[in-house]
Structure 1
Amino acid sequence: MSLEVDVAPSRLSAIKDDVFASVVVLLVALPLSMGLALVAGFPFENAAAVGLISGVIGGIVVGLLSGCPLQVSGAANGAAVMAAVFIKDLGFEVFGLIVMMSGVIQIAAGALRFGPVFRAVAPALIQGMLAGIGLLIFASQFHVMVDDTPPGRGQEFGGVINLWSLPLAVWKGVTMEPHRPAALIGLLTIAAILSWRRWAPRWLSFLPAPLVGVGLATAVAAFFALDIKYVPAPDDLFAAVNLPTTHTLGRIGDGALWAAALSLAFVSSAESLLTATAVDAMQRRTPRTRYNKELVAQGVGNFLCGVLGVLPVSGVIVRSSANVTAGGRTRLSTVLHGLWILLFITLAPDVLRIIPVASLAAVLVYAGINLINLGFARFLWGQDRIETGIYAATVATVVATDVLTGIAVGVGLAVARLLYTFSHLNIRGEQINGMTVIHLEGAATFIRLPQLAAAFESLPHGARVHVHLNELTYIDHACLDLLANWEQQLRNDGGELVLDWDALHGLFRDRALAASAAA
């Protein structure tokens, strides 16, 4: 299978960019993989292996098959929370079977071409989702950066709790000895990233800033032998593998398991395809996402995760945005990040064990901040206050609940706004030199047909009427038919009805040209 690397003469340049991007994604993926396994309820001794195996599958298998080349898959928030519920309610024994079944459902959905449904998402929703996830990552990893546990982990409104308790995390990092060294390592990492991006020597600028930051922090921690938390790399990667038994497979007809698999498939698919849409919005280097192909790739990945009994995978916006920001050019960066995870945990786990957890958390803090596009929010505020409200509601709901609920709230508000727009018609009338001038503003649809008919019925017989249509955003056939009938009726009564069709046609033509130019 082709890795879609650019042809000569830019081939070596593309490979170089992908290699360095894959290292940045690796640094982001390591803490996420292990942390989400703990969230899902896996035992501490197996959590690292479970999360990392999912990262390997998401990087190598899903990366090779993906319909969105720059999207990076692995354990994700929504699927991890659902995994925790399944493990608690149904047990570890059938968890792998549930993940396998969800993968089969995703493959079938892709084959039936259900993927493009998720393309119908407005930019305000996508940016709101990204900003909300950015706040969640920032809030949780800030606590980890001071060697503390996020107080909201596993709790309802956990994101709000993490944000609310940020001052306490700062206080611990400044005043408490167990937390101060980790806080300094985290600050050193962020400072190194910012400094390297601005002042890196040209002959060394090819080194990714997060790698430089983590490398410097690791060297300082080792030199001073700091008593802080380090990456708990597993001794035996495959000790956490839980292959399905004959007894487990015998429960494949259990309705409760299918209900769980269906819900997991939906959440994983939504996270993946919404992330793919966001990746498309972030870059123009690769072709647009092939949604059905992406859905099948995620299904294959989850089927394998289920066979091994590890966390399900889906597209992860933090990893994917890191990939795009770091300069990833093709799917090679995604595949290599999975390969690096596999090589490190099988051949060089001791290298991982010298990396401070606080340093990796600092990389995530930096990545979370970068997901919050304040420039877009300011632009939206100047263009459309209602869209800004949808954006803000999406951000708030993602932080307070979860990503899918946030998207659902945003979609609901967008649909409500659409219904209002297509049902709102303002009719203004005035007398100018003996002629009745009527201005139609908004959407003239069959819903407002009685209102429009009443306006014409109130006119005296033989009236001279001029109807301005240039302020309309939409007019349907029912209203056009009504205007044509009144034109005929007024003419029969000795009156006159003037309709500025040319202005209406010019308005929609200009809008079409503007939209084409913007695209």
Structure 2
Amino acid sequence: MKRTDKAGLSAYSNDLLASVVVFLVALPLCMGVAIASGAPPAVGLITGIVGGLIVGILQGAPLQVSGPAAGLTVIVYELIQRHGLPALAITVLAAGMIQAVAAMLRGGRWFRAVPPTVIHGMLAGIGLLIFASQMHVMVDDKPKGSGLQNLMTVPLAIWKGIIPNEDTPHQEAAAIGLITIITVLLWTKFAGRLRIVPGPLVGVLVATVVSNLFHFPIAYVSVPSNLVASMTFPTMSTLHLLAEPATWGAAFGLAVVASAETLLCAGAVDRMHTGPRTNYNRELFAQGVGNMICGVLGGLPMTGVIVRSSANVQAGARTRVSAFFHGAWILLVVVALPQVLRLVPVSSLAGILVYTGLKLVNVKMFKELYQYGKSEAAIYAVTLVAIVTTDLLKGVLIGFTLAIAKLLYRMSRLEIRIEDHALERRTVVHLRGAATFFRLADIAESLDTIPTDRELHIQFNELAHLDHATLEFLATWEKQHSSKGGSVVIDWDALERHYHAQRVPSKSPIVSLGGLGATSTRSG
């Protein structure tokens, strides 16, 4: 019992420490996503708080962290520009309702069908995007217009961080970012028993002390003074939007994108730890509840987010307690201690994200996938590139499409080998691969070349798959061959291994397999 209690206390202490790290990462991201979406920073903080205090309790992915997501900024920006913040709140409310209903209909489980290769490519792509954007923030510069632009201008950011400039403090900001990363690396390697304290937290503390001790003229975290004043509650003039089809159309699109990002992120987080697996329907329901509350409070839409989630796992979180408390810390600091948070340099937080992004770009994973075949590595690489050059959802869809194309290609691969023994008037047809309707034409053309006076043996033992269309075709072809004086011998044992006997109709000319031996010969 004592062991259990100690283990429980250890888990909770890890969760509390991890929650501080996630909080420090989440706070600037909540405000940054809001600004990128064309909304006040406080609106993003509302979503971050709800994502912790509400979704953190209900979620089906224990180590996932929810909040405003960069992947939704384009959609949200367009909604705000066209209809304003009040209309956005109603749309988010409706999107949450759609997600909750979809969860009740068990729609979340379909996202488990995404191949691991695509998810690993997604993680690497997101990691590369995080690294590229935060390299600019780490030198107190602004990220560029797109992920590809951020990546191409990383050398420029490095140049700004190295070469002194009297007008801008890029060099000092870069130094603070580097101090953060070096501290994390040294702490991870040499902390020993003190490793219970997360390296990212130590890195931010050291960087904060240094930057304030030397009074570096760099950017520090900015916190709004009044959170409640930033809330946009529904009114009778905005609630009528729920009766308009256009609102539900926009809400449906928002719900689909938000759900996809959340559940794909949950699948990715599952691959980062060995703890409890995701309950996809529960996670989708929790997101629906969270978005309904965000809609009522006037917050941004939320999703499960990979940056905060990966930081949560890497900081040592064990349970959902970490996600809950990260929301509590945001609320506490924004309401009671905004002056403390204003001491933290932005470049230090960016350094944590640069470190996190590079860890997500796992080169070893590409090598492991390559061992399973060039196609697996290709799908991984294409998914990564597509995410960087387009966006998260499009990149995943491209990778998923390639995975389906690969499956169809494998299902259509069939080798037909014919051995003709003219003196014995016997022909053996070997089928290897997948005998499906995709290759019926090839099977027909091959069988049509066999002389009518031959005893035909069809070998199925090298088949990986056999479908009903092929069975029906062979039954029909057998009748035609028999009517011309030939005979057919089929290896029913091999056939039975690839196709269940009960699926063959009782009236089929192939007859039941139940009483047959190793082979069955029927001649005309």
TM-score, length-normalised on structure 2? 0.88
- Would you say 1:167 and 2:155 are equivalent positions? yes
Partner of 2:196: 206
Change (3 A) 1:439 1:28: farther
- Would you say 1:359 and 2:352 are equivalent positions? no
Q: Secondary structure at the match of 2:464?
A: strand
Bigger mean CA offset, 164-173 vs 105-114: 105-114
Structure 2 gap ranges (5+): 501-524
Judge conservation of contact 1:243–1:307 (CA < 8 Å) in 2: yes
Change (3 A) 1:96 1:490: closer
Partner of 2:278: 289
Judge conservation of contact 1:192–1:209 (CA < 8 Å) in 2: yes
1:71-220 alignment, distance < 5 Å: 71-152=64-145, 158-177=146-165, 178-202=169-193, 204-220=194-210
Residues 208-264 of structure 1: CA distance to partner in whole angstroms, max 9, x if unpaired?
000011111001101101010000022222232122222222333233222221111
- Would you say 1:350 and 2:339 are equivalent positions? yes
Judge conservation of contact 1:394–1:406 (CA < 8 Å) in 2: yes
Q: Secondary structure at the match of 1:251?
A: helix
Q: Which amino acid aligns with 1:235?
A: S
Judge conservation of contact 1:27–1:210 (CA < 8 Å) in 2: no
Bigger mean CA offset, 178-187 vs 77-86: 77-86
> Aligned-residue CA RMSD in angstroms?
2.5
Partner of 2:489: 497
Partner of 1:452: 443
Q: CA offset at residue 445 of structure 1?
A: 1.1
Q: Secondary structure at the match of 2:434?
A: strand
Q: Following the alignment from structure 1 to structure 2, what is the Cα–Cα distance between the partners of residues 471 and 353? A: 69
Q: Following the alignment from structure 1 to structure 2, what is the Cα–Cα distance between the partners of residues 84 and 143? A: 22
Partner of 2:13: 16
1:312-331 alignment, distance < 5 Å: 312-331=301-320
Change (3 A) 1:496 1:84: closer
Q: Following the alignment from structure 2 to structure 1, what is the Cα–Cα distance between the partners of residues 449 and 175? A: 77
Q: Following the alignment from structure 2 to structure 1, what is the Cα–Cα distance between the partners of residues 479 and 83? A: 71
Partner of 2:56: 63
Q: Following the alignment from structure 1 to structure 2, what is the Cα–Cα distance between the partners of residues 95 and 105? A: 15
Change (3 A) 1:282 1:464: farther
Residues 129-184 of structure 1: CA distance to partner in whole angstroms, max 9, x if unpaired?
111111111110110000000122xxxxx010000011110111111332000001
Among 25, 28, 49, which residue is 1:28 paired with?
25
Judge conservation of contact 2:177–2:350 (CA < 8 Å) in 1: yes
Bigger mean CA offset, 355-364 vs 452-461: 452-461
Q: Following the alignment from structure 1 to structure 2, what is the Cα–Cα distance between the partners of residues 420 and 81? A: 36
Judge conservation of contact 1:462–1:496 (CA < 8 Å) in 2: no
Q: Following the alignment from structure 1 to structure 2, what is the Cα–Cα distance between the partners of residues 370 and 352? A: 27
Q: Following the alignment from structure 1 to structure 2, what is the Cα–Cα distance between the partners of residues 370 and 270? A: 23
Q: Secondary structure at the match of 1:10?
A: helix
Judge conservation of contact 2:466–2:498 (CA < 8 Å) in 1: no
Q: CA offset at residue 185 of structure 1?
A: 0.5
Change (3 A) 1:83 1:463: same
Judge conservation of contact 1:467–1:500 (CA < 8 Å) in 2: no
Change (3 A) 1:424 1:208: same
Q: Following the alignment from structure 1 to structure 2, what is the Cα–Cα distance between the partners of residues 145 and 504? A: 63
Q: Secondary structure at the match of 1:442?
A: strand
- Would you say 1:38 and 2:35 are equivalent positions? yes
Q: Which amino acid aligns with 1:227?
A: P
Judge conservation of contact 1:138–1:365 (CA < 8 Å) in 2: yes
Q: Which amino acid aligns with 1:391?
A: Y
Change (3 A) 1:24 1:469: farther
Q: Following the alignment from structure 1 to structure 2, what is the Cα–Cα distance between the partners of residues 437 and 21? A: 66
Partner of 2:47: 54
Bigger mean CA offset, 383-392 vs 477-486: 477-486
Q: CA offset at residue 468 of structure 1?
A: 4.3
Judge conservation of contact 1:193–1:213 (CA < 8 Å) in 2: yes
Residues 57-93 of structure 1: CA distance to partner in whole angstroms, max 9, x if unpaired?
0011001111111111001122222111100111223
Q: Secondary structure at the match of 2:197?
A: coil
Q: Secondary structure at the match of 2:241?
A: coil
Among 345, 364, 370, which residue is 2:359 paired with?
370
Judge conservation of contact 2:95–2:291 (CA < 8 Å) in 1: yes
Q: Following the alignment from structure 2 to structure 1, what is the Cα–Cα distance between the partners of residues 365 and 478? A: 46
Q: Following the alignment from structure 2 to structure 1, what is the Cα–Cα distance between the partners of residues 499 and 219? A: 63
Q: Following the alignment from structure 1 to structure 2, what is the Cα–Cα distance between the partners of residues 221 and 277? A: 38
Q: Following the alignment from structure 1 to structure 2, what is the Cα–Cα distance between the partners of residues 91 and 505? A: 62
Q: Following the alignment from structure 1 to structure 2, what is the Cα–Cα distance between the partners of residues 232 and 369? A: 26
Q: Following the alignment from structure 2 to structure 1, what is the Cα–Cα distance between the partners of residues 498 and 419? A: 24
Judge conservation of contact 2:411–2:436 (CA < 8 Å) in 1: yes
Residues 2-54 of structure 1: CA distance to partner in whole angstroms, max 9, x if unpaired?
xxxx9635211211221122122122212211111111012xxx31x222221
Q: Following the alignment from structure 2 to structure 1, what is the Cα–Cα distance between the partners of residues 439 and 79? A: 49
Q: Secondary structure at the match of 1:205?
A: helix
Q: Secondary structure at the match of 2:185?
A: helix
Judge conservation of contact 2:467–2:499 (CA < 8 Å) in 1: no
Judge conservation of contact 2:48–2:327 (CA < 8 Å) in 1: yes
Q: Following the alignment from structure 1 to structure 2, what is the Cα–Cα distance between the partners of residues 348 and 395? A: 40
Q: Which amino acid aligns with 1:426?
A: E
Partner of 1:513: none
Q: Secondary structure at the match of 1:336?
A: helix
Q: Which amino acid aligns with 2:439?
A: R
Q: Secondary structure at the match of 2:463?
A: strand
Change (3 A) 1:507 1:367: farther
Q: Which amino acid aligns with 1:192?
A: T
Among 380, 401, 413, which residue is 1:412 paired with?
401
Q: CA offset at residue 478 of structure 1?
A: 3.2
Q: Following the alignment from structure 1 to structure 2, what is the Cα–Cα distance between the partners of residues 196 and 376? A: 25
Q: Which amino acid aligns with 2:400?
A: V
Q: Following the alignment from structure 2 to structure 1, what is the Cα–Cα distance between the partners of residues 301 and 486? A: 75
Q: Secondary structure at the match of 1:282?
A: coil
TM-score, length-normalised on structure 1? 0.89
Q: CA offset at residue 500 of structure 1?
A: 7.9
Q: Secondary structure at the match of 1:176?
A: coil
How many residue pairs end up in the alignment? 492
Q: CA offset at residue 437 of structure 1?
A: 4.4
Partner of 1:477: 468
Q: Following the alignment from structure 1 to structure 2, what is the Cα–Cα distance between the partners of residues 469 and 400? A: 46
Q: Which amino acid aligns with 1:73?
A: S
Change (3 A) 1:505 1:403: same
